[in-house]
């Protein structure tokens, strides 16, 4: 099982990784609907909120705090009051339940909260994966380090158009990460492929994307 250092992972959401690099990394290749820097910033914000929630609250609870999750992400993520049973692949039996029961999303959120790129990405997830939007509580519980087989490494722009989302998987090339794929789409992706095993040297050559002060 992958050991997590939450503080180290949280730091990488707001700064390019420094120090020892993993011996092997994998990456999701994302084609954003809009600007890649804006996209990468959104993804960092969402995933950081989920990791920080787990670090602060733990997972031995009935419901996780949703206040660290951006309102626009909550607005495209269905919400139910009951958490499903965790399956062996790290997803839960409740996936899709909220959409099936007609739940529109977190209370108080309106379509006006959602950027157009985000709405388009959420639609693409359904089209590409043939899945309903994730339940927000279910999604948050997937960040339990006892279940999650990846940790955030970085996001880069190899060509100024696409975004590579780099993951430390401790050398594993095939991992369950549908919760990450949902976030990648829902932050405004037109397409998401991978995870793909890539040389860590590729990451070193590419500029990080979505960090504070990153060029547009």
Residue 95 has pLDDT above 90, yes or no: no
- Per-residue model confidence as pLDDT tens digits over 162-174: 999 999 998 787 8
Rg of the Cα atoms in the chain = 16
Among candidate residues 208, 189, 161, 180, the one with its CA nearest the CA of residue 32: 189
pLDDT of residue 173: 78
73 contacts 131 by C-beta, under 8 angstroms: no
Domains of the chain: which residue ranges? 6-12+23-79+92-205
Q: Which residue has the higher pLDDT, 88 or 75?
A: 75
Place of tokens 């120090």: 19
Taking the C-alpha atoms of residue 68 and residue 50, their distance in angstroms, rounded to an integer, is: 7
- Per-residue model confidence as pLDDT tens digits over 194-205: 999 999 999 999
Confidence of residue 97 (pLDDT cuts 50, 70, 90): very low
Question: What pTM value is reported for the model?
Answer: 0.83
pLDDT of residue 214: 59
How far apart are the two ends of the chain, measured CA to CA in Å? 38
Residue 138 has pLDDT above 70, yes or no: yes
Q: What is the residue-averaged pLDDT of the chain?
A: 83
SS3 60: coil
Environment class of 127 (CB within 10 Å of its CB; exposed 0-12, middle 13-18, buried 19+): exposed
């Amino acid at each position: 099982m992958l050991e997590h250092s939450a503080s180290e992972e949280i730091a990488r959401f707001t700064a390019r990784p420094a120090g020892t690099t993993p011996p092997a990394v994998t990456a999701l290749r994302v084609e954003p609907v809009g600007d890649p820097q804006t996209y990468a910033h959104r993804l960092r914000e969402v995933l950081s909120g989920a990791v920080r929630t787990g670090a602060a609250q733990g997972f031995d609870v009935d419901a996780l705090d949703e206040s660290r999750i951006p309102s626009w992400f909550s607005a495209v993520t269905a919400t139910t009051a009951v958490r499903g049973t965790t399956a062996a692949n790290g997803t839960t039996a409740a996936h899709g339940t909220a959409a099936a029961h007609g739940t529109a999303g977190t209370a108080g959120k309106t379509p006006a909260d959602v950027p157009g790129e985000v709405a388009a990405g959420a639609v693409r997830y359904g089209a590409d994966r043939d899945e309903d939007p994730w339940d927000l509580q279910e999604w948050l519980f997937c960040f339990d380090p006892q279940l999650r087989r990846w940790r955030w490494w970085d996001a880069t722009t190899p060509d100024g158009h696409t975004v590579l989302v780099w993951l430390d998987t401790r050398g594993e090339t095939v991992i369950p990460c549908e919760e990450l794929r949902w976030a990648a789409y829902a932050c405004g992706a037109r397409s998401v492929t991978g995870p793909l095993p890539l040389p860590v040297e590729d990451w070193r050559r590419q500029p990080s994307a979505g960090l504070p002060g990153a060029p547009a």
